[in-house]
Structure 1
Amino acid sequence: MKSICESDKAIETSISVCIVNWNTKDFLYECLTSITPYQQPEKLEIIVVDNHSDDGSAEMTREKFHSIRLVANQDNRGYAAANNQAIEIAQGEYILLLNPDTRIPANIFPVLKRKMEQDPSIGLITCQLRNFDGSIQGFCSGLPTLADEIFLQTGFDQFYPDNPVAAHRTMTYFDYESEAEIEQPPGTFMFLRRQVLETVEGFDEQFRIFFNDVDLCKRIRDAGWKVLYTPDVYIYHHKSASIKKNLAQHLTDAFYMRRIYYRKHYGAFWQRLLSFFAPFPNTGKASYILPTSPGIKSILFVRSSFDAHFAESLELVRTSYPDTRIDLLTTRYPDTENPELCSIFTRIHLYNGKRRKIYYSLTNSLLKKTLKNQQYDVVFFPHAAVDGAGYWNIIFFALALSARFIVGHGVDKRLTRVYPHLFFQFKYIFVYLSAHLLLFIKSRQ
């Protein structure tokens, strides 16, 4: 693996701003344009590590921002490794890890430095993230625990959004107008002491794209440092600009990284146990096949909020059941991106819940009755994460419709997992009761 650092000269600096970029040239230009006015007065060192973009990001940076240190990688090393590259050559006492899809609205650096100087126990500061319409983005998270994973997979974080135990991971109850110590901000904006990064030895590069910020925050807190959220500073942020460019692969990577995180911090036993609570546990066996039982006349194809494999899964179903009626249950209709795909469905049921995810308990009575009357033989849904979050709510949907088979086309090696209705009845009851018991016990602690 090779990289080219185009400036190694020593400069006088107090803050090093480190930006890892991959194919977000336009966002990167906006970001750098918003920072460079403060480069001289605040003695900023700005480092851009480009992960072999093919959109001209490196060339744009080289041509338009001569005062910026550019590291042009000859391959995509991933987010964690690229950040470590920037940290290694950074010379500032403080290091700001910043995503390229952000914009700095004002000189935020004096406030950040003052907060660090006032409290030596603070190791990391994050700020308020805003959409470009001024609304505040929710992003603070609790560091993942074993209980969090169970609540996430069973959908309890959505069923009990105001419960600090069930929603510990998603922190839907957090007040973004108040300064507070938190457990884990995203890697979008992390203002750190150099000493902290030296103590924890930077990012763990086995977390190539996802969970590297989670792992870093856990190690920072384990080392005794505070992580502070402050609304006194805010920036503008485009959500997941680079991730959206290859959503299917990134979602797949995210699930693998989550497993690695639990195995690293809790051990292989607990990681395997958590897999049991997933609707489609990872068996490591060969691919399952679609049900071939005779008499399959109707299929309900469920499209939820994450649908990176929608077209791929739909083609699998069409090929396997060319003469079977296929209906669609969707949260988004009409589909302007894939109108030809929607044209193959006999009926399209529109779910009008307040959330983008599909919850049977939130579905109106008329739609429930309509779906029930269709007597679907198979309920099929794409993106069935083998260690996925919140997919039990779709399983519950399938159970309520009394389908003969429940099928999930997973991101895990693209396995298609098939279980009869009866299997999920027993497993769902066990998981649901276990999660309620766990919530009761932890709420009383």
Structure 2
Amino acid sequence: MTLSIIYINYNTRQLLKQSLKHLFLISPAIDFEVIVVDNNSSDGSSEMLLEKFPQVKVIRSEKNLGYAGGANLGLKNASGSVVAVFNADIFITQNSLETAVNYMDNHIDIAMVGPKLINADGSLQYSCYQFPRPYIPILRRTFLGETKWGKRKVDKYLMKDYSHEDARQVDWLLGGALIARKSALFEVGFFDERYFLYFEDTDLAHRLKDKNYKLIYLPSAKMYHLHRRESADTGLLKSLFNPATRAHIKSAIKYFWKWR
């Protein structure tokens, strides 16, 4: 088995159904399996998968393990030498997976590649980054990010000066769509499950780099991300009532303490 495609699902039945239907319609020209880790959804996701996609390996957790825990459960059951970890709102394009796998086959020092992600409106989603400083989450959540200094710092973090048209080594890649060498992930212990949601991808990148692996943003592998931001884009006080925001804050504290 060359590639294991792992979807992490939590109450996103309709998106997952559309994403899988699209995946099998394109049918990548590569030996692959599909695994869906269902984080104890209550929306009938597992039943839908059994009915509509019998070729998919469904792993149902008895509780919500979070992104890191769900991803690790999928990785431990993956047969492929290369693994793709996706949110349910990721839609691949023709040849995107083949491009990523071939690139990794030709560059043995690369542990992970991230595709170019396109928003539903056709705009670029910034999905490769520099490692964050502790002030970055604050700038992105408050009016300070609109100041001249704040905007400059956020733009640098998002790598906005980079055209996003050529392959480039980066610090870390958005966890919602990753293609990685399973042996490299095994070497560093997969995702750190102390992060329930957010920063698990940033933490993993640190550990891969400590082993001298490279992470590459690969725009020739293009995918669509029909996401809805839940933890930024709103005011700090208002967003504090959002469970995703609180999880983000908890993970940020763990991350910056660990990598201080």
Same fold at TM > 0.5? yes
Q: Which has the higher contact order (CA 8 A, sep 6+)?
A: 2
Letter in 2 for 1:262: F
Please, which moves more after superposition, 146-155 or 136-145?
146-155
* Shift in Å, 1:18: 0.7
1:36 aligns to 2:24 (yes or no): yes
Match of 2:62 in 1: 74
Counterpart pick for 2:255 among 252, 261, 268 = 261
The number of aligned residues is: 252
Whole-Å Cα distance in 2 between the matches of residues 247 and 98 of structure 1? 27
CA contact (8 A) 2:168 2:216 kept: yes
CA contact (8 A) 1:24 1:242 kept: no
* Shift in Å, 1:247: 7.2
Whole-Å Cα distance in 1 between the matches of residues 182 and 259 of structure 2? 24
- Cα deviation 1:233-263 (Å, max 9, x = unaligned): 111111237879x970110111111001011
Whole-Å Cα distance in 2 between the matches of residues 247 and 28 of structure 1? 27
CA contact (8 A) 2:3 2:33 kept: yes
1:155 aligns to 2:144 (yes or no): yes
CA contact (8 A) 2:28 2:95 kept: no
What TM-score, normalized to structure 1? Answer: 0.53
State percent identity of aligned pairs: 26
Whole-Å Cα distance in 2 between the matches of residues 104 and 40 of structure 1? 9
Counterpart pick for 1:145 among 121, 126, 133 = 133
Whole-Å Cα distance in 1 between the matches of residues 255 and 156 of structure 2? 17
Indicate the structure (1 or 2) with the bigger Cα radius of gyration.
1
Match of 1:249 in 2: 243
What TM-score, normalized to structure 2? Answer: 0.87
CA contact (8 A) 1:38 1:44 kept: no
In structure 1, the gaps of 5 or more residues are 1-12, 267-445
Match of 1:223 in 2: 211
Match of 1:65 in 2: 53
Question: What does 1:83-98 correspond to in 2, within 5 Å?
Answer: 83-98=71-86
SS at match of 1:231: strand
CA contact (8 A) 2:29 2:98 kept: no
Whole-Å Cα distance in 2 between the matches of residues 170 and 247 of structure 1? 26
Question: What does 1:386-397 correspond to in 2, within 5 Å?
Answer: none
Whole-Å Cα distance in 2 between the matches of residues 178 and 17 of structure 1? 25
Whole-Å Cα distance in 2 between the matches of residues 107 and 218 of structure 1? 29
Match of 1:15 in 2: 3
CA RMSD of aligned residues (A): 2.6
Match of 1:26 in 2: 14
Letter in 1 for 2:148: F
CA contact (8 A) 2:231 2:242 kept: no
- Cα deviation 1:63-92 (Å, max 9, x = unaligned): 100110001112211111111000001010
Whole-Å Cα distance in 2 between the matches of residues 154 and 169 of structure 1? 17
Match of 1:102 in 2: 90
Letter in 2 for 1:155: L
